[in-house]
Structure 1
Amino acid sequence: MEISNIWYFLSALTLLSALMVIISKNPIHSVLYLVFTFFCISAHYVLLNAQFLMAVNIIVYAGAIMVLFLFVIMMFDLKKNIPESKSSLTKLAGSVVAGTLLVILIAIIRKNTIPAPAVEKFNSQTGMVENLGQVLYGEFLLPFELVSILFFVAMVGAVLLGKREAGERNF
Structure 2
Amino acid sequence: MGSEQLLFYAFAAIAVFGSLFVIVQRNPIYSVLALIGSFFGLSGLYVLLEAPFVAIVQIIIYAGAIMVLFLFTVMLLNVPREGASDWDRAHPLPRPWPTRIGAVLALALVAQLVWALSRMPGIADGIGQQATGISDVGELGRVLFTDYMFAFEVTSILI
Name the TM tier (shorter chain). Answer: 0.7 to 0.9
Q: For residue 85 of structure 2, what is the aligned residue in structure 1? A: 85
CA distance 1:135–1:70, change in 2 (3 Å): same
Any runs of at least 4 consecutive aligned residues in structure 1 with deviations exceeding 4 A, and if so which?
81-84
Q: For residue 56 of structure 1, what is the aligned residue in structure 2? A: 57
CA distance 1:71–1:123, change in 2 (3 Å): closer
Larger radius of gyration: 1
Please give the secondary structure, in 2, of the residue aligned with 1:117.
helix
Deviation at 1:104, TM superposition (A): 0.7
Please give the secondary structure, in 2, of the residue aligned with 1:22.
helix
Segments of 5+ residues of structure 1 without an aligned counterpart are 152-171
CA distance 1:135–1:86, change in 2 (3 Å): farther
Q: Deviations over 1:16-55 (max 9, x none)?
A: 1111111112111111110000001011111111111111
CA distance 1:4–1:83, change in 2 (3 Å): closer
Does the Cα contact within 8 Å between 2:23 and 2:31 map onto a contact in 1?
Answer: yes
Find the partner of 2:157 among 149, 160, 163. Answer: 149
Please give the secondary structure, in 2, of the residue aligned with 1:49.
coil
Find the partner of 1:132 among 140, 150, 155. Answer: 140
Deviation at 1:64, TM superposition (A): 0.7
1:70 and 1:35 mapped to 2: Cα distance? 10
2:37 and 2:4 mapped to 1: Cα distance? 21
Q: For residue 44 of structure 2, what is the aligned residue in structure 1? A: 43
For the pair 1:101 / 2:108, whether they are aligned, the reply is no
- TM-score, normalised relative to structure 1: 0.73
Deviation at 1:67, TM superposition (A): 0.7
1:58 and 1:22 mapped to 2: Cα distance? 21
Deviation at 1:58, TM superposition (A): 0.6
2:60 and 2:158 mapped to 1: Cα distance? 23
Does the Cα contact within 8 Å between 2:36 and 2:67 map onto a contact in 1?
Answer: yes
1:99 and 1:140 mapped to 2: Cα distance? 41
Percent identity, aligned pairs only? 34
Q: For residue 92 of structure 2, what is the aligned residue in structure 1? A: none
CA distance 1:70–1:116, change in 2 (3 Å): same
2:86 and 2:71 mapped to 1: Cα distance? 25
Segments of 5+ residues of structure 2 without an aligned counterpart are 89-94
Q: For residue 74 of structure 2, what is the aligned residue in structure 1? A: 73
Q: For residue 124 of structure 2, what is the aligned residue in structure 1? A: 117
Task: Note the aligned Cα RMSD (angstroms).
Answer: 2.8
CA distance 1:9–1:116, change in 2 (3 Å): farther
Does the Cα contact within 8 Å between 1:14 and 1:41 map onto a contact in 2?
Answer: yes
